[in-house]
Amino acid sequence: MGWLNVLAATYDNCISEVGESETIRKGKGKKAFDQTVVLLPVSHLTNNAGIEITINENGEFKDAVKVDKNDQMTIMPVTEDSASRSSGIAPMPLFDKLSYIAGDYDDHAAEDKKKRPYYEKYMEQLHLWADLPNTPLKVKAICAYLDRGTVMKDLTDKNIYDGTDVFVRFKVTGIDMETRTWRDKEIYESFIRYYGAILTETDIDYTTGELCPDTQKLPSKIRNSGDKAKIISSNDTSNYTFRGRFISASEAVAVGYEVSQKAHNALRWLIARQGYHNGSEAIICWSPGNDYVPSPMNDSSQFEKDDEEEEDKIGFDTEELFAKRLNKAIAGYRQNFDRDIRRIEKDTLKVVVMAVDTADGSGQGRLSITYYNEQEPQHFLNNILKWYSECCWEFYAKKKEGFLIGTPSPEDIVAAAFGTQRSEFVDADEKMKKKSIDRLLPCIVQGRKIPKDMVYAAVRNVSNPQRFKEANWYRLLASACAMIKKYQYDYGKEVFSVALNKESMDRDYLFGRLLAVAHKLEDYVNFKSGNNGRETSAMRYWSTYAQKPARTFMTIRDKLQPYISKLKTGVRNYYQSLAEEIFAKLEETKSFNNEPLKENYLLGYYSQMAEFRNYKNTEINEEEESS
């Protein structure tokens, strides 16, 4: 199926959601905000109303108020012309600006701002709908009120008009409990029937193969309300689209009006509801059956369930426990899809990932589909499971004040590879971030290998800890380690886990462990002497150590001598014996040299530091007490 078919099928499967608004929490932390989203009916759009006029069932004015900023979103019927109007006279069918709905607008407007033809065209169009026998009484009441031509007088009497050509909506009392005409489903359905009946030009719809009313004016406002870019456009005034190959736009492609409306409304809804914004690019992942699916753009916290009993039994998080949580979550998704086989048509039982963006990142011009992938649900879930289980490491969880196994988000991965310290946070250049996330998307969704150059970039970036604040650097280090682990899986390398591999003879891993011992020893002495947080020699010489490890280690060792002399005998013996054990393995493999270190040294460093943290220091304490 093509993207139009899939989105139209999504709309049909979510028909119960049409017209139902919901509030979504967007953003994180201090930047979080609430956004109202709605799956629009066919032939409808939203606009922000500034004034709300209340009338009764006879079309008599009752009240007018300015609409609160948090309640301005208004669902309104539109025609093809009014939905895409930029100039000229193209009235909305029901709600519109004062210049269209107010018969006495010119009485309050400057000579060069008079717009009587706008009102006349608006009323002519409204009467075609309102005068039909089956049109809802509320629409008839609005038409009767506007026929009187007293809108500006009524607003002035209420001291509501402030000189701006504001958008207006209506409440109608005395007919039923729902006075808000912009929320009335009877009005939605009435306009859809009416407008569908007056669309007479037909053609073969390329998406369905059926003869039906077509459209040459496809919708914009895809990524947000200010987005003017269109996915399909037949504007050929500058020889940009079909001329030279076809005489008319319909010869190039013909799209049915109803399919276009359903598909674009579903796309807007999905982006607003669950889209990920990669700069100007919008990325969505969904099931046309309207089941929640895991997002490839989130970290593994989306799979977390509060399973405190199991964690308490173990004492701390492990890769085994993470795998158990992950498999349990994926199994839940599988069960949902198995259930859906009985609920929806089989050809809509799939998972779709789609990304749209303009060439220059603006809100103008053509909106391209930069990524599109359809998969069977089980295949998609297998790829998701593979990514999250193989690209995982240990991260500090602020909310739980401890360390948990998890998978970094694509943003975290890009920050590790290309991020720089900016104020309190680490961020990458916007263009680099966008391109890199686009490259990671197929790795997550389709199971492709992680790009080697991105892994190497992360190793280089993290090998300069002095460029970052300490807490940020440790987060980058964990993300880099997760990337290295995924790289090992993808390219058939030896795979290291968070747990320290004491038997490994890998040169880079051993040098990483040795650096961790040097750092921990000096940091331990600083802590005991009240200089907690002071930079260690290991951190100071880190980038040089990565290039010439043997020579730099000898320098670090000399710097450690004053610290070693301050240790109690038991502690000193512990660190020295551990360093000698690692050094002996390097000597045994004849690899204590100055060849630059490869990625595994970061894993060796992290795992040795994790061992220090998780180790209860029983042996050290016992030796301290006996010394």
- Per the DSSP assignment, residues forming a β-bridge with 395 are 404
More confident call, 625 vs 411: 411
As a whole number, mean pLDDT of residues 561-565 equals: 92
What the block records as the tokens of 575 is 């660190």
Classify residue 168 by its DSSP letter: E
Q: What's the CA gap between 8 and 291, in Å, rounded?
A: 16
pLDDT mean over 311-315: 41
Position 384, amino acid: I
- SS3 of 492, please? coil
User: What's the CA gap between 482 and 444, in Å, rounded?
Assistant: 14
DSSP state for residue 350 in the 8-state scheme: S
Q: Where are the domains of the chain?
A: 1-39+200-274, 40-198, 291-490, 507-626
Largest CA distance in the chain: 100
Residue whose C-alpha is closest to residue 233's, from 250, 210, 216, 252: 216
Average pLDDT, the chain: 89
Does residue 348 surpass a pLDDT of 70?
no
- What b/e sequence results for 48-61 when a residue is b if at least 16 CB atoms lie within 10 Å of its CB, and e otherwise? ebbbbbebeeebeb
The DSSP element (H or E) to which 491 belongs, if any, is none
Q: Which two tokens stand for residue 36?
A: 């109202």
Q: What pLDDT, on a 0 to 100 scale, did the predictor assign at position 370?
A: 94
- Indicate the SS3 state at residue 53: strand
Q: Is the pLDDT of residue 285 over 90?
A: yes
Question: Would you place residue 233 in the very low, low, confident or very high pLDDT band (cuts 50, 70, 90)?
Answer: confident
pLDDT score of 625 more than 50: no
Strands 420-422 and 402-406: unpaired
pLDDT tens digits along 188-202: 999 999 999 999 888
**For residues 184 and 178, is the Cβ–Cβ distance under 8 A?**
yes
Identity of the amino acid at 625: E
Looking at the chain, the whole-number percentage of residues with pLDDT higher than 90 is: 69
pLDDT of residue 232 exceeding 50, the answer is: yes
Query: The pTM is what?
Result: 0.89
pLDDT in tens, 408-420: 999 999 999 999 9
Q: How far apart are CA 211 and CA 218, in angstroms?
A: 18
What are the tens digits of pLDDT across the range 582-620? 999 999 999 999 999 999 999 999 999 999 987 654 445
- Other CB atoms within a 10 A radius of the CB of residue 292 amount to 12
Is pLDDT above 50 for 624?
A: no
Q: What is the per-residue pLDDT across 23-32, written as a single tens digit (0 to 9) for each?
A: 888 777 677 7
Q: What is the per-residue pLDDT across 51-99, written as a single tens digit (0 to 9) for each?
A: 999 999 999 999 999 999 989 999 999 999 999 888 889 999 999 999 9
* CA distance linking residue 242 with residue 245, whole number of Å: 6
CA 141 – CA 151 distance, rounded (Å): 14
The Cα 591–Cα 602 span in angstroms is: 17
Which amino acid appears at position 214 of this protein? D
CB 420, CB 428: distance < 8 Å = yes
Do the beta carbons of residue 507 and residue 586 sit within 8 Å?
A: yes
Find how far residue 188's CA is from the centre of its chain: 31
